[in-house]
Structures are given as structure tokens and as C-alpha cells.
Structure 1
């Protein structure tokens, strides 16, 4: 099977700060998402036991059962195994050296397979349970933290990206941190009295390349509010929803730029994660093939990047 190395060097442009916060009305906008609606997140019950260098258990959502195990197989090297719907997923990670591999196959016969909407719905519920029940950030044990990061990545995995691939990345080469842009008013959380804009979150798609202004957004990164689980955009005042390929709209909320979906259990803000959000929150579905390159570029960020706070 073709193996993919997800490495990206990105240059960024910066915008200033200082505009005053305006109250955000609760007006919902439904974005175009390539003609498909994502399957709803499936909530459930998490049972997790930890021992020295390991975390394992089950996540149950109705008839869906996820079995998982994360363990340190060598000093600083972690193996994560997740099983659901007859699908076996594995992540092998050496975070200190920014090296690892991902794999997925049918448990019955070892054949190649893919994550589909029904799998993503269960994995998203599993990921939400890990974010809820595990200690935040580096307070979680390493085995639990890399379990959480792997599951978060699989929960967003497009069907058009092969499950078996190599993931390499190191800070400054594979990924670039944007911790300073996750702050407004000097704080990582809370409402913004002044802005700290990042320019630009960008992607390429059927509407044009990275340089097309309709594929670019001016974003305030960080955990600074949400509206019904969505973000805000500016159009004669702050509105709730996601603009669909407008020319450089200003956006914030729902932990824009953070690795993983929304506000997860880790606090990694990176260029590639920002660009991925700038794709899936700009008229494309979470698993849209148009966002595959942003997803693969952000994979090493999610697995290896350090937390901003």
C-alpha cells in the first residue's frame, strides 16, 4: 500500500490587533458541505483502567462497542490499538523523535479498509468521552494522552485518505506552533476585549488555490467562545455559523486552530491545524476530500506537537 509522509513547511503572514469586541448575536448559518451531512456524534459510556505505562478499556454507545489499549512498548514509544465495527486501528508513535506510523485493516482477514461515516460518529463520541474524563493536557498519563490524540485524529479521518501511512514531523519542520495567536488580551481563554488576528487560515479546493481570497480567513485562534458548538464570523456584527468561501472573513470561536475537533483535551495550536479548520469550516465537510491535504499535513501536529498551556 502506498505510504504517505506528512511533512509541511509553511510561511505565515501576520495581522495586527486592537479592534474592540462586539456582542455576538445568535444567528445560525448553515454551511455548504459538499452535498453530504456528517453522521451525528454517538455519545456513550467510557470504562478506562490505567496501570504502569498502559491505559485500556471499552467505550459503549448502544450496540457499538469500542475496545482499546494504549501502552508504552519501549521507553518513550507508544502503541495504540482500537477496535470497532470489525475494524482494527493502530498507531505506533515515538513523539520525542517525531516518528510513527498509522494502520487500519479488517479484523476478519487483514484486508485494507477505510473509516466511514458510521465509524467516525462512534470515534467522535469516544474522543469526546476521553476529552471529558481524562485529565487535560500533560496532566494525563503519556499512555492516556497518546490514546486521546490518536482517537481524535481517527475521528476526523477522511475515507479518501489511506489508513496505512507514515507520520513524521518535528517542530519547525513538520509543524509550526501558533501558541501566541491563541491568546487575546494576553489570555488563552475567555472573551476577547481586543483581537490578535492570524492571517491567513487557507486551503485549496474546487474554488481555487491557496492564494484565492475566498479560500482564506482572518482568524482569532484559541478558546474564546462558541455558539451552539460553532464559531462566529463577522458580517455587520458577529453572527453564529460558518461563512462559505467569502473573501477573507474574520472568524473566531470553537477553539479555531486547535488540533482535533473543537476544544479537545490537548491545547496544540499550529499552522496546519489552523489551515485544516480553515478548510472544514469554510464550506466543506469534516471528511471532505478537498481537505485531505490539510488533514494529512496536520496529522503530525496532533500526534507530536506540545501543548501551548
Structure 2
């Protein structure tokens, strides 16, 4: 979902001001979003007493600067959409030192991503400033604590990311002509303490898209029946659940289905958590998918 230099200018860390420069007065839980005539966007969103402020603007042709501030942390990104190169960073606001993404940070960012998705639903035409803002927020919302926030991401179709739109037919749902027809992708896979990348215990046969769930969890086939929950390193179980194979936290507002995003899902939904170190390599592999892969619908 589920981030070289040389083509873009370096991000200036010392000069980060208040994104957007606007007074935030929206009620907690409400999204404040200001869009300028030139495409620039800024705003804020709150969850309880926590607040996150954001801004996105074009700094030159095809290059966008993104700033997100929350919990005493500044997150910055310089996204070169034409070259498929991004420079990302995160640091503590009080001293400019390196920091890491913790559970509370991810929760707040995931809430902002969902709010942006509700305001700017899938399929809507977005200015690139909003498109890359939402995608960067989605990427940070899944960022594991052990992966450095300062990094470069490169994306190139066929090398950096491989699309799986054909496995998410009918807008990824059992609707219309799709009915209840399954369209399996083999395999969602990862490597971990249970063995290598290609062992059956580390693979799932996934139904991509937004499908059946049970109490917010997924379903897997066991003994010829659908069972609620996440299989823990079983031998190639068939699985389905909301947003499987889709970049970003939750169902969000983007609809990219890729090999790397599916493998990341197949790691965090197969006996591991989002923060598991065993899934770090899948996360980094899927980072360019999150930022650059096109929407499937």
C-alpha cells in the first residue's frame, strides 16, 4: 500500500513554516480544506485533541512540495511526477533531529487519509497537488517505525510497479456483471521467520478489491468454508477482505492495485502486524506504487 535524487531539488528542512499559513478553526474531526486557483491546497484535520496540518503546492513544472505537521513532527516530500522521483523526510520540530513514526502518528495520518478520501472520492478528477498530498499521507500512515523517514522513492511502470487492475474488476466489488464471480490472484507473498519468499506458508491466494468482511476483519477458506479472521501462515489459503491489494491504509480514495501492494497486504494479513519488521521490505517495495501507480478505476 500500502519512496534518484538529482532530478529534483533537495528539500529544505530548516525553512518549514506553517503549511498554508491559514488559521485553523474547524471543529475536531472535521476536514478543513482550502484550494487555491493555482492548484495549491492546505488545511487541517483533528482527532480528539490531536491536530494535523497539511499543505501541497507546485514548485515547478511537474514538481510538488508536500508538508504535513502533527504530534511535534514535520513530514516533507518533494514529488517529481514527471521523473517518478520523490525525496521524503520526517523530523522532530523542536530540534530538527531524526524521528520515527509511532502508532499514534500512523493513526492520525490514517484518519486524515480517510477524511481526504471522503472529501475527494475515488474516480474524482483531482489537481495533482491534492493527488500527491493524499498519496503521500497514505504512504506515511503505513510507515513502519524501523524504516527511516528520510529516503528517496523511484517509480517506473514494469520495474518499480506492476499493475493488477484486471484482478479488481467491477470497481473491485461483487457488483453488476461480476455478481459473485471470484477472480483470484496468485500469490500474495512475503518472506519471514517461517521460511523463504516462495514457501506455501508465506503465500495467500487473494481476491483483490473491496469484498466481504466480518467485524472489520477478512475471511479465509478453511475446510471448504469461509472463516472470519486472518490465517496465520497456512498453506496458500484463499482470502478476501476489504481493499486487499490496494495501496494505502483502509480503502481510502485511491484505487491502485499492484503486485507490491498485494504482497505487503499478504504480509500484514498473514500473522504479522503493520509494524512487523518482516513486512518492512514489502512496504519499501510498495512505496513507489503508492505514489506513482495510476488508479485502476
Would the TM-score normalized by the shorter structure come out above 0.5? yes
Aligned counterpart in structure 1 of residue 206 of structure 2, from 210, 219, 241: 219
Q: Is the 8 A contact 1:137 1:145 kept in 2?
A: no
Aligned counterpart in structure 1 of residue 173 of structure 2, from 159, 173, 189: 189
Distance across 2 between alignment mates of 1:139 and 1:241? 36
TM-score by length of 2: 0.86
Q: Is the 8 A contact 2:174 2:181 kept in 1?
A: no
Instruction: Map residues 201-220 of structure 1 onto 2, 5 A cutoff.
Output: 201-220=188-207
RMSD: 1.6
SS at match of 1:275: helix
Say whether 1:77 aligns with 2:63: yes
Post-superposition shift, 1:187?
5.7
Aligned counterpart in structure 2 of residue 168 of structure 1, from 142, 151, 154: 154
SS at match of 1:257: coil
Give the structure 1 partner of residue 185 of structure 2. Answer: 198
Q: Is the 8 A contact 1:44 1:126 kept in 2?
A: no
The C-alpha deviation readout for 1:151-210, integer Å capped at 9, x for no partner, is 111111000000000000110110000000112xx6632255222111110000111111
Q: Is the 8 A contact 1:69 1:81 kept in 2?
A: yes
Change (3 A) 1:231 1:96: farther
Distance across 1 between alignment mates of 2:283 and 2:173? 25
Bigger drift between 232-241 and 144-153 goes to 232-241
Q: Is the 8 A contact 1:219 1:256 kept in 2?
A: yes
Q: Which runs of no fewer than 5 residues in structure 2 stay unpaired?
A: 5-27
TM-score by length of 1: 0.83
Change (3 A) 1:105 1:245: same
Aligned counterpart in structure 2 of residue 93 of structure 1, from 79, 94, 100: 79
Instruction: Map residues 69-148 of structure 1 onto 2, 5 A cutoff.
Output: 69-148=55-134
Distance across 2 between alignment mates of 1:130 and 1:229? 21
SS at match of 2:227: strand
Aligned counterpart in structure 2 of residue 44 of structure 1, from 5, 22, 29: 29
Distance across 1 between alignment mates of 2:124 and 2:89? 25
Q: Which runs of no fewer than 5 residues in structure 1 stay unpaired?
A: 6-42
Give the structure 1 partner of residue 7 of structure 2. Answer: none
Q: Which has the higher contact order (CA 8 A, sep 6+)?
A: 1
SS at match of 1:130: helix
Distance across 2 between alignment mates of 1:262 and 1:214? 25
Distance across 1 between alignment mates of 2:151 and 2:123? 26
Task: Kindly tell me the number of residue pairs found equivalent between the two proteins.
Answer: 267
Q: Is the 8 A contact 2:174 2:180 kept in 1?
A: no
The C-alpha deviation readout for 1:77-102, integer Å capped at 9, x for no partner, is 11110001110001111123211111
Instruction: Map residues 6-25 of structure 1 onto 2, 5 A cutoff.
Output: none
